[in-house]
């Protein structure tokens, strides 16, 4: 006899089985059932849709990576060749990024992609950082950068640009039977040399990689131990196609099971962050599995931790990730041990002791690297959404 209770039990079983998808910070979504509008910015980038050079370059820049896919950029246009870049202060991550360091790195990624796209169209991107002063410890309403496009038809086009639509953050286990060859890592190091003041580091040595895998896993443990961090993660997950289309930021999770669970109200954000929940346990296992399935790692370090260095780190990360994409490699930043909240302090120090080459050096980005199947792109707000309403255009 099929009672309400058995039906409910059946659904809870489905909910349990899909917990991994709900809480794993995104295993991607099936394209057949996935979002459509939220992915359009990937196709729309370029001069065909955006004939003026500033909008065209910006339409590529918004494809940059950002922590939790928050897309913190906000641009005020001043004609076809000039603009001001701001940080959208509503898009900060108060707990996991208390000094907005990762947010500034994302703005650096954005500026690098902007420059590459501008050069492609025959313009030199002239970027003046912090034109009204350095924000120091906390970001404020002053601009991050002044942008000017100067026509320069003979400007060299960077071959890395060709890979900007194919770059992904890949939250899948990497093939542990396939080592990362030395040559692509050397090419990544060379790609970052265009950005002065950063140090590119990488390892394919299995003893060192094992130390980093263990540390990354410990970072996942620490992160899951914090209710606040779990809640911040759950808050920025976009579950199901409808949510993703409505808010194309955060970590997107969508597939037929998720859609079904949503219809029956079986997905609960509070529950996802609750320590005893099945979704929590499976999500935790998944994250641990990802950290351990990492044949290699790379990192970006800077001599100090000022805002300019964080921008430079973002520019370098973007270049390294485009070179990795060109070589068919998958990557995923693993930022847990780099986060500055008090609970992470011990692991933060341990990681720095392991990777630091000189006193005071800061590891700004740490990412796993290896081979994996391709994943779909992550959602983006359209360019129009990231333009400030005021300002002359
Ligand atoms: C500073 C920074 C830190 C990040 N940290 C993580 C991380 O710890 N784990 C992760 O899965 N992705 C991390 N990412 C990647 C973003 O989540 C990703 O860029 C975003 O979801 C958009 O996806 P895309 O890179 O595929 O376009 C980070 C990105 C940046 C710029």
- pLDDT tens, 344-376? 999 999 999 999 999 999 999 999 999 999 999
Nearest-angstrom CA–CA distance, 277 and 283? 10
What is the average per-residue pLDDT within 166-174?
A: 97
Residue 311 resides in a domain: yes
- Residue closest via CA to ligand 1's atom 3 equals 67
Residue 328 resides in a domain: yes
Residue 294 resides in a domain: yes
Is the beta carbon of 332 within 6 A of some atom in ligand 1? Answer: yes
Residue 381 resides in a domain: no
pTM for the full predicted model: 0.92
Count of structural domains within the chain:
1
- Which residue did the predictor score with more confidence, 230 or 282? 230
Residue 252 resides in a domain: no
Question: 391 is written with which tokens?
Answer: 């300002």
Query: Residue 6 above 70 pLDDT?
Result: no
Confidence of residue 49 (pLDDT cuts 50, 70, 90): very high
Confidence of residue 241 (pLDDT cuts 50, 70, 90): confident
Residue 153 resides in a domain: no
Is the beta carbon of 65 within 6 A of some atom in ligand 1? Answer: yes
183 CB-contact burial (10 Å; exposed 0-12 / middle 13-18 / buried 19+): exposed
Is the beta carbon of 255 within 6 A of some atom in ligand 1? Answer: no
Query: Residue 237 above 90 pLDDT?
Result: no
For residue 336, the ligand 1 atom closest to its alpha carbon is: 8
| CA 368 – ligand 1 centroid, Å | 12
Nearest-angstrom CA–CA distance, 28 and 330? 14
Neighbour count for residue 220 (Cβ, 10 Å): 24
Domain extent at residue 172? 166-242+261-370
- Residue closest via CA to ligand 1's atom 6 equals 333
pLDDT, position 13: 38
Percent of the chain with pLDDT over 90: 74
Q: Which region among 112-121, 228-237, 322-331 has the lowest average model confidence (pLDDT)?
A: 228-237
pLDDT, position 257: 72
Residue 388 resides in a domain: no
270 CB-contact burial (10 Å; exposed 0-12 / middle 13-18 / buried 19+): exposed
Nearest-angstrom CA–CA distance, 45 and 118? 12
Q: Which region among 117-121, 240-244, 324-328 has the lowest average model confidence (pLDDT)?
A: 240-244
Nearest-angstrom CA–CA distance, 75 and 147? 10
Is the beta carbon of 19 within 6 A of some atom in ligand 1? Answer: no
Query: Residue 133 above 90 pLDDT?
Result: yes
Q: Which among 23, 25, 63, 67 is the best mutation to test ligand 1's pocket, defined by most ligand atoms within 8 Å of the CB?
A: 67
pLDDT, position 33: 59
Query: Residue 9 above 60 pLDDT?
Result: no
Question: For residue range 65-85, what is the model confidence (pLDDT) as tens digits?
Answer: 999 999 999 999 999 999 999
Q: Which among 28, 65, 212, 229 is the best mutation to test ligand 1's pocket, defined by most ligand atoms within 8 Å of the CB?
A: 65
Neighbour count for residue 19 (Cβ, 10 Å): 22
| Average pLDDT over all residues of the chain | 89
Question: For residue range 252-289, what is the model confidence (pLDDT) as tens digits?
Answer: 887 777 777 777 777 777 767 777 777 677 778 889 99
Residues 6+ positions from 364 with CB-CB distance below 8 Å? 101, 105, 198, 299, 300, 301, 302, 305, 309, 310, 313, 314, 317, 338
Is the beta carbon of 321 within 6 A of some atom in ligand 1? Answer: no
What is the average per-residue pLDDT within 47-73?
A: 98
Is the beta carbon of 333 within 6 A of some atom in ligand 1? Answer: yes
Residue 41 resides in a domain: no
Q: Which region among 16-25, 214-223, 284-293 has the lowest average model confidence (pLDDT)?
A: 16-25
Query: Residue 330 above 60 pLDDT?
Result: yes
Q: Which among 66, 229, 312, 368 is the best mutation to test ligand 1's pocket, defined by most ligand atoms within 8 Å of the CB?
A: 66
Query: Residue 153 above 60 pLDDT?
Result: yes
Q: Distance between alpha carbon 59 and the CA centroid of its chain, in Å?
A: 17
Q: Which among 45, 313, 335 is the best mutation to test ligand 1's pocket, defined by most ligand atoms within 8 Å of the CB?
A: 335
CATH code at 222?
Answer: 3.40.109.10
């Amino acid at each position: 006899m099929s009672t309400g209770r058995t039906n409910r039990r059946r659904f809870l079983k489905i909910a349990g089985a899909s917990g991994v998808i709900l809480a794993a910070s995104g295993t991607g979504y099936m394209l057949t059932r996935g979002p459509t509008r939220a992915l359009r910015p990937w196709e729309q980038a370029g001069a065909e849709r955006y004939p003026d050079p500033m909008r065209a370059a910006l339409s590529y820049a918004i494809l940059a990576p950002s922590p939790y896919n928050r897309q913190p950029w906000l641009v005020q246009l001043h004609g076809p060749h000039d603009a001001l870049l701001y940080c959208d202060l509503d898009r900060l991550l108060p707990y996991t990024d208390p000094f907005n360091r990762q947010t500034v790195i994302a703005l650096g990624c954005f500026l690098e992609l902007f420059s590459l796209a501008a050069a492609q169209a025959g313009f030199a991107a002239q970027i003046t950082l912090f034109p009204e002063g350095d924000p120091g410890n906390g970001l404020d309403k002053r601009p991050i950068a002044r942008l000017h496009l100067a026509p320069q038809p003979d400007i060299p086009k960077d071959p890395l640009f060709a890979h900007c639509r194919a770059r992904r953050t890949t939250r899948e286990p990497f093939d542990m039977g396939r080592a990362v060859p030395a040559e692509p890592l050397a090419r990544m190091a060379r790609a970052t040399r265009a950005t002065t003041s950063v140090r590119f580091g990488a390892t394919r040595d299995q003893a060192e990689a094992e130390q980093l895998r263990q540390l990354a896993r410990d970072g996942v443990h620490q992160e899951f131990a914090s209710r606040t961090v779990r809640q911040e993660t759950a808050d920025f997950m976009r579950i199901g196609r409808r949510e993703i289309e409505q808010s194309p930021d955060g970590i997107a999770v969508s597939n037929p099971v998720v859609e079904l669970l949503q219809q029956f109200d079986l997905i609960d954000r509070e529950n996802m962050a609750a320590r005893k929940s099945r979704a929590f346990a499976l999500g935790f296992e998944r994250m641990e599995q990802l950290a351990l399935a990492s044949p290699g790692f790379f990192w970006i370090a800077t001599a100090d931790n000022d805002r300019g260095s964080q921008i430079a780190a973002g520019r370098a990360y973007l270049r390294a990730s485009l070179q990795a994409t060109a070589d068919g490699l998958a990557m995923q930043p693993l930022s847990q041990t780099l986060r500055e909240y008090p609970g992470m302090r011990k692991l933060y120090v341990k990681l720095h002791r392991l990777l630091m080459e000189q006193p005071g050096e800061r590891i700004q980005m740490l990412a796993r690297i290896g081979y994996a199947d391709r994943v779909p792109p992550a959602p983006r707000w359209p360019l129009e959404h990231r333009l400030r309403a005021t300002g002359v255009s």
